[in-house]
């Protein structure tokens, strides 16, 4: 009985800590949330979250995104031989050689410097930065930003 009560207290303490940490970030920007729904219904961090991270946290988040892409590509090729080539193409689109994650983070910082982009998910900011670093034209980038704002600022 005592152990069960201790477990319940621990669970409630962890839950309260999580709520407080999220509410601290939420309250930081005029009651706007640092999370949003991605178009596929998955809850993701957006620019409000990104702007509260320190440099090392931003780099680690980007490493996680890249590792997640690699993990997905590997899992896809293990389950279907037909998806191997497509997985490689997707992985190529989600990575860039010759750049450090700190440089990609700077590009994402610049993206979120415009407050109209703050509701855009970080993964979209990452994709924007990669396109920019890979040499997309200003017109292509403007079209992408307009599409992202339309998708995420109307939710």
pTM higher than 0.75, yes or no? no
**Over 70: is that where the pLDDT of 33 sits?**
no
The pLDDT value given to residue 7: 42
* CA gap 29, 21 in Å, rounded: 14
Q: Which two tokens stand for residue 83?
A: 């998806």
Could you state, in order of their start, the residue ranges of all structural domains in the chain? Answer: 1-31, 33-152
Residue 123: pLDDT band (50, 70, 90) is very high
Beta bridge partners of 121: 46
Report pLDDT digits (tens) over 50-108: 999 999 999 999 999 888 888 887 777 777 666 667 777 777 777 777 889 999 999 99
- Asked if residue 129 lies in contact with residue 96, where contact means CB atoms within 8 angstroms, the answer is no
The pLDDT value given to residue 81: 66
């Amino acid at each position: 009985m005592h152990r069960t009560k201790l477990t319940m207290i621990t669970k409630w303490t962890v839950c309260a800590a999580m709520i407080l940490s999220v509410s601290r970030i939420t309250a930081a920007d005029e009651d706007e949330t640092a999370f949003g729904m991605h178009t596929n219904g998955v809850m993701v961090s957006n620019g409000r979250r990104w702007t509260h991270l320190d440099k090392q946290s931003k780099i680690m988040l980007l490493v996680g995104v890249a590792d997640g892409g690699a993990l997905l590509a590997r899992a896809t090729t293990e389950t279907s031989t037909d998806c191997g080539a497509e997985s490689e193409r997707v992985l190529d689109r989600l990575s860039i050689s010759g750049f450090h994650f700190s440089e990609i983070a700077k590009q994402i910082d610049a993206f979120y410097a415009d407050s109209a982009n703050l509701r855009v998910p970080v993964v979209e900011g990452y994709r924007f930065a990669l396109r920019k670093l890979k040499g997309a034209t200003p017109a292509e980038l403007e079209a992408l930003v307009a599409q992202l704002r339309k998708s995420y600022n109307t939710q």
